[in-house]
């Protein structure tokens, strides 16, 4: 499942091609790829056809492209959705292609975006843009701005800011940690509190600060909470930097699914392999229908210190 760094690679690849482009035509090849589109707001094809795309914006792992000032095309990538940039002569025989947007760009000419999804959990939608709750810029658009900047698609407005967002509220995050008795990994995956962190980067950040994922969030000191947040930022930043180098200048084949960061993982997917810090074999444990990976020595569950008895 794509997390923040993978989606940012997609966004950065799409941005130069879509910003300022006009949608010349739309092919909906599989209507299941519009399950998140509310038909009551209008027909997807007619809303998109002729529209000018203003930017490619991301919050956490959600991506949208404002069209005009009050609507956006929202990409829900699901488990396997991809937005692939194609030249117009690229063969159109991809059997997993669900929707095609034919673009006309003032500098780059004709281009095509294929929404490709091996499974069908992903969706595109046209959605209303609503003002952000905190009045700040809604998401990351690499400095491209416009009247839409302080607005967010209604479908995405419940998603919290991601930790790389300059408007992310550290204090509110640390306060929330202190209030929650659930395991700290579960809290990291709560997209309503902090977005963009999925299973992979949660395991990596927890390994970095030697925390067990089941450690109750409320048992962390403020200092440990800050260390964890710094580790999350560090891991996301490193993954972004690696993704960025792999995909730099590769704007005709945007593909966020490759495992370019895999060689840098310390915990995720390393069950049975030695912990890079202490050499103890790493373990895999089931977690919310998925797996957690940790070092049984460095990342022990620690009982909250009992108050000293009088």
Nearest approach, Cβ of 231 to Zn ion (angstroms)? 15
* Residue 185 designated active-site: no
Contacts (Cβ under 8 Å, ≥6 apart) of 94: 114, 116
10 Å CB burial of residue 268 (0-12, 13-18, 19+) is buried
172 or 271, CB closer to Zn ion? 271
Rounded least distance, CB 213 to Zn ion, Å:
14
Q: Look up 238 and say whether it is catalytic.
A: no
Identity of the residue, 193 or 283, whose beta carbon is nearer to Zn ion in the bound complex: 283
Count the residues of the shown chain that bind Zn ion, applying the rule CB under 5 A.
Answer: 7
Residue 191 half-sphere exposure, CB side, CA atoms within 13 Å? 13
Q: Are 202 and 293 in contact (CB under 8 A)?
A: no
Smallest gap, in angstroms, from Cβ of residue 280 to Zn ion? 5
Active site residue 61: yes
Catalytic residue among 222, 290, 300, 302: 290
| Closest CA relative to residue 120, chosen from 94, 92, 95, 98 | 98
Question: Shortest gap between Cβ of 294 and Zn ion (angstroms)?
Answer: 9
Within 8 A by CB and 6+ apart from 179, the residues are: 218
Between 177 and 275, name the residue whose CB sits nearer to Zn ion. 275
230 or 283: CB nearest Zn ion: 283
Among residues 76 and 212, whose Cβ is nearest to Zn ion? Answer: 212
Whether the CA torsion 254, 96, 65, 235 is positive or negative: it is negative
| 180 has binding-site annotation | yes
- Judged by beta carbon, residue 154 or residue 271, the one nearer Zn ion is 271
Return all residues near 193 (Cβ < 8 A) that are at least 6 apart: 160, 173, 176, 187
Residue 2 corresponds to which tokens in the numbers above?
């794509």
Q: How far is the CB of 281 from Zn ion (least distance, A)?
A: 9
CA–CA gap between residue 71 and residue 151 (Å, rounded): 9
DSSP 305: P
Task: Tell me whether residue 96 is annotated as binding.
Answer: yes
Q: How far is residue 205 from each of residues 95, 117, 189, 268, 294, measured CA to CA in Å?
A: 37, 29, 12, 10, 11
**Does 211 interact with Zn ion (rule: CB under 5 A)?**
no
Catalytic residue among 2, 5, 153, 163: 2
Which residue of the set 11, 61, 86, 112 is catalytic?
61
Q: How far is the CB of 269 from Zn ion (least distance, A)?
A: 16
> Which of the residues 243 through 302 are near Zn ion (CB under 5 A)?
275, 277-278, 280, 295, 297-298
d(CA 33, CA 48): 15
Was 59 annotated as part of a binding site? no
Residues serving a catalytic function are 2-3, 61, 290
Tell me which residues touch Zn ion (CB under 5 A): 275, 277-278, 280, 295, 297-298
Return binding residues for DNA: 96, 119, 180
Return binding residues: 96, 119, 180
């Amino acid at each position: 499942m794509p997390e923040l760094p993978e989606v940012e690679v997609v966004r950065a690849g799409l941005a130069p091609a879509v910003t300022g482009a006009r949608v010349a035509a739309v092919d909906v090849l599989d209507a299941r790829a519009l399950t998140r589109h509310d038909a009551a707001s209008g027909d997807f094809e007619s809303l998109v056809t002729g529209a000018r795309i203003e930017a490619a914006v991301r919050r956490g792992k959600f991506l949208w492209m404002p069209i005009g000032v009050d609507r956006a095309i929202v990409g829900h990538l699901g488990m396997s959705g991809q937005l692939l940039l194609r030249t117009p002569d690229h063969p159109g025989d991809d059997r997993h292609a669900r929707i095609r947007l034919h673009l006309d760009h003032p500098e780059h000419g004709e281009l095509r975006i294929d929404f490709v999804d091996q499974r069908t959990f992903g969706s595109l939608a046209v959605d209303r843009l609503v003002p952000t709750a905190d009045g700040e810029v809604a998401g990351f658009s690499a400095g491209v701005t416009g009247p839409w900047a302080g607005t967010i698609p209604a479908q995405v407005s419940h998603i919290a800011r991601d930790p790389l967002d300059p408007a992310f509220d550290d204090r509110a995050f640390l306060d929330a940690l202190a209030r929650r008795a659930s395991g700290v990994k579960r809290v990291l995956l709560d997209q309503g509190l902090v977005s963009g962190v999925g299973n992979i980067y949660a395991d990596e950040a927890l390994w970095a600060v030697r925390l067990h994922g089941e450690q109750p969030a409320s048992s962390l000191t403020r200092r440990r909470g800050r260390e964890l947040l710094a580790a999350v930022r560090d891991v996301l930043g490193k993954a972004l930097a690696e993704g960025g180098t792999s995909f730099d200048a590769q704007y005709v084949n945007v593909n966020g699914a490759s495992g370019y960061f895999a060689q840098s993982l310390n915990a995720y997917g390393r069950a049975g392999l030695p912990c890079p810090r202490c050499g103890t074999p790493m373990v895999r444990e089931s977690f919310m229908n998925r797996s957690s990976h940790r070092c049984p020595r460095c990342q022990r569950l620690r009982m909250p210190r009992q108050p000293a008895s009088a």
